[in-house]
Amino acid sequence: MQGARRGTRSQDSRDLSWISKIQVNQPAVLRRAEQIQARRTVKKEWQAAWLLKAVTFIDLTTLSGDDTSSNVKRLCYKAKYPIREDLLKALNMHDKGITTAAVCVYPARVSDAVKALKTAGCTIPVASVATGFPAGQTHLKTRLEEIRLAVEDGATEIDVVINRTLVLTGQWEALYDEIRQFRKACGEAHLKTILATGELASLTNVYKASMIAMMAGSDFIKTSTGKETVNATFPVAIVMLRAIRDFFWKTGNKIGFKPAGGIRSAKDSLAWLSLIKEELGDEWLTPELFRIGASTLLSDIERQIYHHVTGRYAAYHDLPMC
């Protein structure tokens, strides 16, 4: 990720009065979202190529109450070897170093993930959720300490959640100050700010929160925790991507985007890649600027690759976690 760009956009002095004047044209956003959903997907060799590319954008995630060191170890191994080697050989892609973009776990499991990846001889980043995930309703001091502990344990990416109350009540300076403190607590780790868009009440609030998060120093803005009733949707994504584009035009700084929650099928992943290409361009189709937060998506992508290579769908035992 382009850590150097942080210094040019994280300024303590700011004028946020213009934020209250922003309005999003919801009917236009919804029309654009309908166009995306109606589009046909790519087929055959093109589809296989795009699916393999999608694998490299996945933050392979486990955020369950019953997470253990053993299932984190399996997840890390799968992150290093996301697609069966014989399938990659059939596509002549076995020597391309295809891995997922990162492994994402709870703070208490960061050390397990770091150890497992080191044992596997792998440099895949470890991401950790933090700041009272998923609700963000714990005391600020506790949330900041959670970030510091995750970084101390070896996390190089931190997915924080904002206090949604600050958005719903229009406390934009307070939101800015909160994210600035998250930025400072992360140190050299990359900051991915989760907006929890399903709980922000309007697309206008989504745009405003996106701009505040970027102004405060976020390296990525992320749609959802995956725990809300409504997670990543195309209308929300369009608003966030337009905010990223506006921010780039105004500052020259490229901010990453991460949809998360409810992205489970290979077909879904292709739609998201297409959206990024059309809204932001090929420059954003890199793990440094685009991620997909998912726990089950990889299984369906591998299943589709299996079908492309063999002409039949795999049984459950044909594609194990590791």
pLDDT of 293 reads: 96
pLDDT of 11 reads: 45
pLDDT of 6 reads: 43
Contact 22, 63 (CB under 8 A): no
Cα dihedral sign, 100-102-105-108: positive
Secondary structure E strands in 184-298 = 190-194, 220-222, 256-258, 292-294
Q: Which residues contact 282 (CB under 8 A, 6 or more apart)?
A: none
Residues 49-98 pLDDT 10s: 999 999 999 999 999 999 999 999 999 999 999 999 999 999 999 999 99
pLDDT of 313 reads: 87
Residues 91-137 pLDDT 10s: 999 999 999 999 999 999 999 999 999 999 999 999 999 999 999 99
Residue 285 has pLDDT above 70, yes or no: yes
Q: How confident is the model at residue 41 (pLDDT cuts 50, 70, 90)?
A: confident
Which of the residues are catalytic? 222, 258
CA distance 110 to 123: 14
**Domains within the chain, CATH numbers bracketed:** 26-310 (3.20.20.70)
User: Can you give the pTM of this predicted structure?
Assistant: 0.93
| pLDDT over 90, % of the chain | 87
Q: How confident is the model at residue 321 (pLDDT cuts 50, 70, 90)?
A: low
Mean pLDDT of the chain: 93
The secondary structure of residue 314, as a DSSP letter, is P
The residue-averaged pLDDT of 179-187 equals: 98
pLDDT of 42 reads: 76
Q: Which residues contact 199 (CB under 8 A, 6 or more apart)?
A: 164, 228
Q: Where are the alpha helices (DSSP H) in 230-320?
A: 234-251, 266-279, 297-310
